[in-house]
């Protein structure tokens, strides 16, 4: 885990409203690391919502600097675009959110959470999307009696996107749930994350395990050079430092870094049989993407109790002098230079 606490990034509550999402260090520009240290309040908080999204039908669009973020309220409130200079870092399936563990609902994910329309409102530059309660199993999944609320906001000065998710238990019994963010990205991307403690996870028989050996404490998935030939290939590990990154090309001369930051979760805090970091891909599936996933600590929720958890994203150009290849020390150093302690350690 990185640094000292900061403001709460995850909490259990019985009421609504937004959590205090913390302060920290600004990105300092599209291509640089570091920047001025935040001191709290509107001027120093790199997560303060300062960008007003526009609405066109069911699409809500945040435009800031070289970036654009698009949320589709009619499709599970998924983020379907996060782009830099017009280059979308996401697959068209976008980024979604599920409660964990999956064993509690089976497959497919509950439509009310994953793919049905959410009701959107905009207040003080925070886009809030409220989903329906998963109370009917029309497609074979097991009912969770859970609803999800998503809140998206952007700070233009820092370039950070805040994604806050709230799991609400509408069931009569106490239930344990963990947050699970699943972002689909092109298979061309180079993924990497700091390695945490060694854990043993037993995968289902149809899964093919990808062994990502740690290089200087960092694990890498270089799909184009990984020799993946089968279906349902998965890598599941404990992470460290509270971040997960992907690098890919903006164009023939420039590269981008998509960085996700989240509260680092200890293995013992996760649902049984789960890893904090999960990467899924397939060489045979029609949908050619890699799932870039992270989970948070599980919390016990009484009836009508809720659990808020936040991740922060940035999408920036990688400086030309950084080596964008698997095992690159300069690429890891660049990613670490963008990490904000308050985003990765608070709440756990």
- Local confidence pLDDT in tens for the 348 residues of the chain: 333 333 335 666 544 333 333 333 334 334 433 333 333 334 589 999 999 999 999 999 999 999 999 999 999 999 999 999 999 999 999 999 999 999 999 989 999 999 999 999 999 999 999 999 999 987 889 999 999 999 999 999 999 999 999 999 999 999 999 999 999 999 999 999 999 998 877 776 667 778 898 999 999 999 888 888 778 888 899 999 999 999 999 999 999 999 999 999 999 999 999 999 999 988 777 778 999 999 999 999 999 999 999 999 999 999 999 999 999 999 999 999 999 988 886 543
* Distance, CA of 283 to CA of 4 (rounded, Å): 41
The structure's pTM equals 0.88
What is the topology classification, in CATH, of domain 10-344?
Answer: Beta-galactosidase; Chain A, domain 5 (2.70.98)
Closest by alpha carbon to 312, among 193, 167, 154?
A: 154
Task: Please tell me what DSSP assigns to residue 326.
Answer: T
* Three-state secondary structure call for residue 10: strand
Cβ-based neighbours of 256, under 8 Å, separated by 6 or more:
84, 87, 89, 247, 248, 249, 250, 315, 316, 317, 318
CA–CA distance from 191 to each of 66, 246, 271, 323 (Å)? 22, 4, 24, 14
């Amino acid at each position: 885990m990185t640094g000292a606490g900061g403001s709460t990034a995850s909490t259990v509550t019985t009421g609504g409203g937004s959590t205090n999402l913390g302060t920290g260090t600004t990105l300092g520009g599209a291509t640089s690391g570091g920047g001025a240290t935040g001191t709290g309040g509107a001027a120093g908080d790199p997560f303060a919502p300062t960008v007003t999204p526009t609405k066109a039908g069911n699409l809500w669009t945040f435009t800031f600097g070289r970036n654009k973020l698009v949320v589709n309220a009619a499709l599970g409130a998924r983020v379907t675009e996060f782009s830099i200079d017009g280059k979308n870092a996401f697959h068209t399936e976008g980024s979604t959110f599920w409660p964990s563990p999956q064993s509690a609902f089976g497959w497919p994910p509950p439509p009310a959470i994953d793919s049905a329309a959410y009701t959107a409102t905009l207040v003080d530059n925070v886009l809030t999307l409220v989903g329906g309660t998963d109370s009917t199993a029309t497609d074979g999944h097991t009912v969770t009696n859970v609803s999800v609320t998503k809140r998206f906001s952007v700070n233009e000065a820092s370039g950070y996107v805040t994604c806050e998710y709230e799991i609400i238990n509408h069931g009569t019994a106490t239930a344990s749930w963990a947050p699970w963010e699943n972002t689909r990205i092109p298979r061309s991307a180079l993924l990497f994350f700091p390695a945490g403690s060694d854990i043993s996870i037993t995968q289902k028989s149809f899964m093919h395990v990808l062994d990502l050996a740690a290089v200087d404490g960092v694990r890498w998935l270089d799909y184009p050079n990984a020799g993946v030939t089968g279906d349902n290939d998965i890598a599941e590990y404990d992470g460290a430092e509270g971040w997960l990154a992907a690098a890919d090309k903006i164009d023939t001369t420039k590269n981008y870094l998509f960085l996700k930051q989240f509260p680092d979760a200890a293995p013992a805090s996760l649902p049984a049989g789960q890893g904090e970091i999960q990467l899924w891909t397939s060489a045979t599936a029609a949908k050619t993407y890699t799932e870039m996933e992270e989970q948070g600590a599980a919390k016990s929720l009484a009836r009508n109790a809720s659990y808020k958890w936040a991740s922060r994203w940035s999408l920036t150009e990688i400086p030309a002098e950084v080596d964008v290849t698997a095992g690159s020390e300069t690429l890891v150093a660049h990613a670490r230079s963008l990490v904000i302690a308050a985003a990765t350690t608070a709440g756990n």
